[in-house]
Amino acid sequence: MTIPSVTLNNGVQMPAIGFGTWAGMDPAEWHKSEPWLATALKAGYTHFDTAQMYGTEKYIGNILKDAGIPRDKLFITSKLLWNYHSLIEESLDTTLKDLGTDYVDLFLIHWPQMVLYEEGNIRPRNPDGTLKVVESPSFNDVWAVFEKLLDTGKVKSIGVSNFSIKTLEELLKTAKVVPSVNQIELHPYLAQTELVEYCKSKGIVVTAYAPTGYSQVLGDPLIIELAAKYKASPAQVVLAWHLARGTTAVPKSTSEAHQKENLNLPTLDSKDVERITALDKGLRICNKPTETGIICGWSVERMGW
């Protein structure tokens, strides 16, 4: 299968399979991303998904500069750092400088909750260990600034990440521009069918992060069975499932062989797509709420999870 592009609600074309660039929580390790970013570019990825929180933007900038690929042949997604809610354009300018580009193709609100700004600390915590979230500005306020960014030429499209039906409904009450994308954790064990269908009804493209579900999903007997049927890897089967559902995905791999595989996907029979969707367990693998139902400083009820 040739990897298709999808048309966002503003007419912008986005490759349906991008490359995720999260490099872990340890800043001392982020520089190690450059070799596997370079092999991803060599493998044929043109869509790179990053964020200030990931710490990889400058390394993406390095490999793109060295490659000399025309900017209009690339699609770059980045995300607002959650405690830069009052410094949005400054945050974007830092992203652009690190990436070595004049614009990003897609700029997302990374999380609906906003976190207290503390110099040099992107995860300030209360004594009980929870994040120090702030009530103002709200994501509605931040979105109003995002809408104005469209007029600067520094962003081509705007969207959100980790939004639910609940938070999207709240956002759309004040939004003048409908988000182009909602990037969420999405895989066969967390199929989020209701949210996917809601987004489609609003013209919002869904992008999956953690799209393979890692070893928990890839080791599922059904996925292994279908991998044999389609003469593909388990990851290829799961990524093909995303495309068959009309969703997009940003898998990450440090393996050059797996990077190439993820761009060469089978076409699944509709019954097999349904069988994979039926694996849904509502299981979050990436961002699990605490035992008390808190995720990044908000309750799961407030998140709409």
Q: Which residues are documented as binding site for substrate?
A: 110
Q: 254 Cβ partners below 8 Å, 6+ apart? A: 36
Give the pair of three-digit tokens for residue 3.
Answer: 């990897």
Give the pair of three-digit tokens for residue 21.
Answer: 């660039």
Give the pair of three-digit tokens for residue 213.
Answer: 């579900």
Whether omega for the bond prior to residue 137 falls within 30 degrees of 0, making it cis, is yes
- Binding-site positions read 110
From the list 54, 84, 189, 209, the catalytic residue is 54
CA distance 182 to 169: 13
Tell me how crowded residue 100 is: count the other CB atoms within 10 A of its CB: 14
Half-sphere exposure for 46 (CA within 13 Å, toward CB): 15
Q: Has 54 been annotated as catalytic?
A: yes
**Residues acting as catalytic residues:** 54
